[in-house]
Structure 1
Amino acid sequence: MSTDLQWLLLRKYNSFVVKKVSEGPIFSTEPGNLRNLHSHKYSGLANTKTIDIKDSPSGIQVTIKKSKASPQQVRTARTTFTIRNRSGGRRALGVVAGLAKKGYRPDLRAAALGRTSALIATQKEKKPSPPRKARGKKATA
């Protein structure tokens, strides 16, 4: 079945669709959707090649769907690799950018880099807020 036909079938009747605002953008929670937008380009269900980037306890997990796998293959149709925590942002972004450089969905390069950098930012420890400085009469006392 072609990806266009799959999208036509999934477009209106999909359990992953999130319609919060009637006139706003339509979001999607499906796996493999890097921008969480309900569109054919970013759909993880309707495309043969998908990139799924998510957070795991051991690091950032990148899953790639093989394009020529049969529908009966579920586990063997995906390749998963993990970028360890504390391995550095440049390494993580280099791994994700390398996928696009090798020709695997180069149109999703910006979305994949954005998702990866957002996950790296959430893994960093937050700095404690500095103590408040006394102002006015309290500062002179």
Structure 2
Amino acid sequence: MSSDLQWLLLRVRLNNNSFVVKRVVEGPVFSKEPGNLRNLHSYKFSGLANAKTLDITDSPSGVQITARKTKAVAGAVKTAYAKSSIRPRSGSRRAQGIVSQYAKRGYRPDLRTAALARVSALVAAQKEPKPTLPKKIRGKKAKAIEASPE
């Protein structure tokens, strides 16, 4: 089935699509489908309608990038996907390298910025936050503590 026909069926069944999220009546329509990098319900970002999709998810071992192989057999689900992972502390340069590899091979180069933004956000979310330092006492309270003999 062609990707245009798949999108047409997804678009017509807007009220019956389990991935569609409508928050505001006149606002944007979001999507929770796998492979949708911007989470927008549009043909360009659809992970179901396009033959080439990148699914970037959070995993315990870091960020996992799953790409659908275009020439995979329809029945072979496990071998139809190529997976690569980014360790949590590897940084944005590693993420940029992996995303650029897919774009250079002609694998949806139009989604390079969306994929890099998703990977960078997930890597940043996995970093441990810096500990908050206790606030220093300043002004009149600090002078009162210094002046008081203990």
TM-score range, shorter chain: over 0.9
Whether the 8 Å CA contact 2:7–2:49 is kept in 1: the answer is yes
Aligned to 1:97: 100
**C-alpha distance after superposition, 1:22-75 (max 9, x if no partner):** 111111111000111111100000000000011111111110001122332311
Matches within 5 A, 1:74-89: 74-89=77-92
Query: Runs of 4+ in structure 1 displaced over 3 angstroms?
Result: none
Task: Give, in whole Å, the separation in 2 of the partners of 1:40 and 1:56.
Answer: 27
TM-score, normalised to structure 1, is 0.93
Higher helix share: 2
Residue 55 of structure 2 aligns with which residue? Answer: 52
Percent identical pairs in the alignment equals 67
Q: Which residue of 2 aligns with 1:120?
A: 123
Bigger CA radius of gyration: 2
2:74 is matched with which residue?
71
What 5-or-longer segments of structure 2 have no aligned partner?
145-150
C-alpha displacement of 1:81 = 1.5
Distance (Å, rounded) in 2 between the aligned partners of 1:127 and 1:86: 14
TM-score by length of 2: 0.88
- Give distance in 1, aligned partners of 2:138 and 2:121: 37
Are the equivalent residues in 1 in contact too, given 2:88–2:127 (CA < 8 A)? no
Q: How many residues align?
A: 141
Alignment partner of 1:76: what SS?
A: helix
Unpaired segments ≥5 residues, structure 1: none
